[in-house]
Amino acid sequence: MQKTPAAEPPQIVKLPCSEYPAAGPVAEIAKNGYAPGPAYGQGTMTSYTEYLTINTKERYEIRDITAEVERVRAAAKLQEGFVLVSTMHITSSIFVNDHETGLYADIMAWLEELAPFGKDYKHHLTGEDNADAHLKRMILGHQVLVPVTGGKLDLGPWERIHYGEFDGRRNKRVLLKAFGF
Amino acid sequence: MQKTPAAEPPQIVKLPCSEYPAAGPVAEIAKNGYAPGPAYGQGTMTSYTEYLTINTKERYEIRDITAEVERVRAAAKLQEGFVLVSTMHITSSIFVNDHETGLYADIMAWLEELAPFGKDYKHHLTGEDNADAHLKRMILGHQVLVPVTGGKLDLGPWERIHYGEFDGRRNKRVLLKAFGF
Amino acid sequence: MQKTPAAEPPQIVKLPCSEYPAAGPVAEIAKNGYAPGPAYGQGTMTSYTEYLTINTKERYEIRDITAEVERVRAAAKLQEGFVLVSTMHITSSIFVNDHETGLYADIMAWLEELAPFGKDYKHHLTGEDNADAHLKRMILGHQVLVPVTGGKLDLGPWERIHYGEFDGRRNKRVLLKAFGF
């Protein structure tokens, strides 16, 4: 194991903040023991990637994966930047909404109305029966970019990151890519 | 106030450009007075975050926030990178479309058709009455990544960034995170 | 032509990987001939931007542009980061789904059901006839952030990046911005 060839420059963050969390600037953040500099954050970029495997019991299912996103942020030691959360399958979604099971049921019923299962889709000429899943996933979207500020997922009080499955009961992968410094 | 511990390396940008703005390469950009180098841009990453508070008069409202995005880009002194614009509430949207009030009305009428207010949603068993807002916001999406090129928001001629409110008349926050160099 | 004023630090990548591609960590990546360091990737950020022009024969058309995204990644010599693919027009989409022409037809028929052409839209008071395109594009979305890992577009086996046109037969531009190291 070699040493890292070049020492990293000090990484210094001082964030302006107009409204949140209501008490003016976010606390000054100094990594590596350096005192905060005169300006906002600057640093050398880090990239860290994991792949989460999800296998749902049901064909249609919604699952809160916020804890996984935070786990990846922490593993990457990210102070400032993003975690991209992106499903690698074209019959599932990543979306942000309330963690509330009544709403989960509403979302599924609503998607079934907008893009019903079992219609005479042309995609089914290939032997598949999941065209509805390909459509449903478009409405909720397939990826979310989670901001990281001051070493935390920078989410609103009710924002939770969800995986939406529309053709489950088999292994599906979700990419989690932390990017920043 | 301390000095920045390490001088920043010169940041140099020379962008290839095949089609736009029709006259070949984007102008060479030299920050810090350095002459342009032989290649595309490279630099030390900067992160800058603000939180915008929006309180709409109406329950349903669309508002153009493009000027706020440019203001944050300028405050961050961003030449290359992105501004992430992301609503922190789960009953509102961030989306890109035409700044045209007729279209605003069309969008609201259309969303009301696809996800009507006042239906017998399971989410309302919690005491809420805004399940339609949770659904409407999924169609338009909750975040946009605005590219920054050569010190400008890199938008097409009609692209404008909008905030869509579906449960307003109270304070809502929008995260604006500039990231790049 | 001047020389780059400052030598770049070595850029070193070693990626953790829990599940994919099934055989443990992604291969260690060493740029510039350096051996891999002890941790995940770090580097000086690069930005590279191109604009793709698309002129479809039909008013409504779906086109796979994955090869263009890979071309831009390669031109930027990106090992880790993202390519933002974002249409610069408000009557077209960028989305990820299966490359399957039956599904393309299903998507177009479905969008026509959800947001029909030729209705009495208020937007048409401006003289336009394409309000349906402004709505259709919202369902599929207007941008995708394509992750790059280990020098490759980090896509699932069926993920393909598509351009969706809903008011074509004229030049439209798509921004491709590679960002990372």
Whole-number pLDDT of residue A43: 62
Q: What is the pLDDT of residue B42?
A: 57
User: Which of A18, A137, A146 is most worth mutating to test chain B (most B CB atoms within 10 A of its CB)?
Assistant: A18
Q: How many CB atoms lie within 10 A of CB B45?
A: 25
pLDDT > 60? residue A35 = no
| Minimum-distance CB partner of C88 among B26, B114, B159 | B159
Q: What are the tens digits of pLDDT across the range C98-111?
A: 999 999 999 999 99
* Amino acid (1-letter code) at residue A8: E
What SS3 string covers A7-32?
CCCCCEECCCCCCCCCCCCCCCEEHH
pLDDT band at A179, cuts 50/70/90?
A: very high
**Candidates B8, B34, B40, B177, partner chain C, best to mutate (most C CBs within 10 A):** B40
What distance separates the 2 farthest-apart alpha carbons in chain C? 64
| Long-range contacts, stretch C21-26, CB < 8 angstroms, 24+ apart | C26/A49, C26/C149, C26/C150
Q: Residue B99: pLDDT above 90?
A: yes
CA A156 from centre of chain = 14
Chain-centroid distance, C-alpha C78: 14
Using the predicted structure, report yes or no on whether residue A42 has a pLDDT greater than 70: no
CA–CA dist B16, B26 (Å, integer): 7
Q: Could you tell me if A180 and B45 are in contact, meaning their C-beta atoms sit under 8 angstroms apart? A: yes
Q: How many CB atoms lie within 10 A of CB B115?
A: 23
Give mean pLDDT, residues C161-176.
96
CB atoms within 10 A of CB A23: 8
Q: Is the pLDDT of residue B3 over 60?
A: no
C-alpha to C-alpha distance for A57 and A62, rounded to whole angstroms: 11
Q: How far is A103 from chain B (nearest CA, A)?
A: 5
Sheet holding C41-43, edge to edge: A152-153, A143-149, A81-87, A172-180, A45-54, C41-43, C12-13, C29-30
Residues, chain C, total? 181
What is the distance of C-alpha A50 from the center of its chain? 12
| Share above pLDDT 70 across residues of chain C, in percent, rounded to a whole number | 76
Q: Give the three-state DSSP class for B135.
A: helix
- CA nearest to B174, candidates B57, B92, B99: B92
**Alpha-carbon torsion A118, A121, A127, A133, what sign?**
negative
Contact C143/C164 with Cβ under 8 angstroms? no
pLDDT confidence of residue C95: 98
Read off the pLDDT of residues C57-99 as tens digits, 9 standing for 90 and up. 999 999 999 999 999 999 988 889 999 999 999 999 999 999 9
Beta-carbon contacts of residue A147 (< 8 Å; ≥ 6 apart)? A81, A82, A153, A154, B49, B84, B86, B175, B177
CA separation for the pair B50, B61 (Å, rounded): 22
Mean pLDDT for all residues in chain A: 80
Q: What is the DSSP letter of C9?
A: P
Which residues in chain A are closer than 8 Å to B53, comparing Cβ atoms?
Answer: 18-20
Least confident of A32-36, A46-50, C145-149: A32-36
Residue owning tokens 């349903």:
B60
Closest in B124, B135, B145 to A145, CB measured: B145
Calpha distance C115→C132 (Å, rounded): 6
Average pLDDT, chain B: 80
- pLDDT for the residue C118: 96
Subunit partners of chain C (3 or more CB pairs within 8 A): A, B
* Residue A174 in this model has a pLDDT that exceeds 50: yes
Neighbours of C67 (CB within 10 A): 10
Q: Do B49 and A12 touch (CB under 8 A)?
A: no
Give the whole-angstrom CA distance, residue B73 versus residue B77: 6
What ranges in chain B are assigned the alpha helix state H? 66-75, 101-114, 131-140
Query: CB neighbours of B108 closer than 8 A, spacing ≥ 6?
Result: B60, B62
- Cα(A61)–Cα(A57) distance, integer angstroms: 8
Contacts of C135 (CB under 8 A, 6+ apart): B106, B107, B110, C114, C115
Contacts of B147 in chain C (CB under 8 A): 49, 84, 86, 175, 177
Residue C43's pLDDT is 62
Q: What is the pLDDT of residue C42?
A: 57
For A9, the closest chain C residue by CA position comes to C9
When pLDDT is averaged across residues C158-173 and rounded to a whole number, the result is 96
Cis check for the bond before B147: say yes or no (omega within 30 of 0). Answer: no
Q: What is the pTM of this model?
A: 0.81
Residue B90 backbone zone (phi > 0: left; psi -120 to 50: alpha; other: beta):
alpha
How far does B114 lie from chain C, in Å, by closest CA? 8
Which pLDDT score is estimated for C46? 82
Structure tokens at A98: 């309330």
CB atoms within 10 A of CB B32: 11
Cis omega (within 30 of 0) for bond into B21: yes
pLDDT of residue B43: 61
Q: Which positions ≥6 away from B22 have C-beta within 8 Å?
A: none
Q: Do B47 and A145 touch (CB under 8 A)?
A: no
How would DSSP label each residue in C115-143?
A: S-TTS--GGGGGT---HHHHHHHHHH-SE
- Does the pLDDT at position A181 exceed 70? yes
For residue A12, what pLDDT is reported?
32
Phi, psi of B163 (to 5 degrees): -100, 130
> Token pair for residue B10?
């010169």
Residue C175: which of B13, B97, B147 has the nearest Cβ? B147
Least confident of A122-126, B86-90, B177-181, C158-162: B177-181
| Distance from C-alpha of C34 to C-alpha of C91, rounded to nearest angstrom | 47
CB count in 10 Å sphere of residue C116:
13
Closest CA to B143 of B56, B82, B79: B82
Type of residue found at B38: P
Per-residue pLDDT, B17: 29
